[in-house]
Amino acid sequence: MKCRHRVLLLPLVVILALALVAPASLAQQRRLVTIASGWVVGVYYPLAGAMSRIVYKVKDLNLRATVESSGASVANAQLIGTGDADFALLQNDIAFYAYNGVTLGAFKDKPIKNMGAIFTIYPELIHVVVTKASGVRSVGDLKGKKVVLGPQGSGTEANALQILEAYGVKEGALGKAERIDAAAAADQLKDGRVDAAFFTTGMGSAVIVDSFISGKVALVPVIGGEAQALVKKYPFYTSVKVPANTYKDQAEATTVAVMAMMVARSDLPEDLVYRFTKAIFDDLKQFHAAHSAAQNLTLETAMNGNPIPLHPGAARFYKEKGVLK
In the complex with ligand GLU, which residue's Cβ is closer, 116 or 150?
A: 150
Q: How far apart are CA 20 and CA 11, in angstroms?
A: 14
Q: Give 215: exposed, middle or buried? Use CB within 10 Å, 0-12, 13-18, 19+.
A: exposed
| Angstrom distance (rounded) from CA 292 to CA 124 | 12
The backbone torsions φ and ψ at residue 105, rounded to the nearest 5 degrees and listed phi first, read -50, -35
Using DSSP bridges, classify how beta strands 115-131 and 146-148 pair: parallel, antiparallel or unpaired: unpaired
Shortest distance, CB of residue 153 to ligand GLU, whole angstroms? 8
Q: Please, which residue, 141 or 165, has the CB nearer to ligand GLU?
A: 165
Q: Which is nearer to ligand GLU, 92 or 134 (CB)?
A: 92
**273 secondary structure, DSSP code:** H
* Least spacing, CB of residue 42 vs ligand GLU, in Å: 3
CA distance 309 to 109: 19
Nearer to ligand GLU, 155 or 221 (CB): 155
Nearer to ligand GLU, 259 or 272 (CB): 259
Cβ-based nearer residue to ligand GLU, 205 or 296: 205
Binding site for ligand GLU (CB under 6 A): 38-39, 42-44, 72-73, 91, 124, 150, 154-156, 200-202, 205
Distance, in Å, from the CA atom of 32 to the CA atom of 22, rounded to the nearest integer, reads 19
Please report how close the Cβ of residue 309 comes to ligand GLU at its closest, in angstroms: 21
Task: Give the nearest distance from C-beta 72 to ligand GLU in angstroms.
Answer: 3
Closest approach of ligand GLU to the CB of residue 90, in Å: 6
* Letter string b/e over residues 95-130, b meaning 16 or more CB atoms within 10 A of that residue's CB: bbbbbeeebbebbeeeebebbbbbbbbbbbbbbbbb
Return d(Cα 262, Cα 201) in angstroms, integer: 14
Q: Report the nearest approach of ligand GLU to the CB of residue 111 (Å).
A: 19
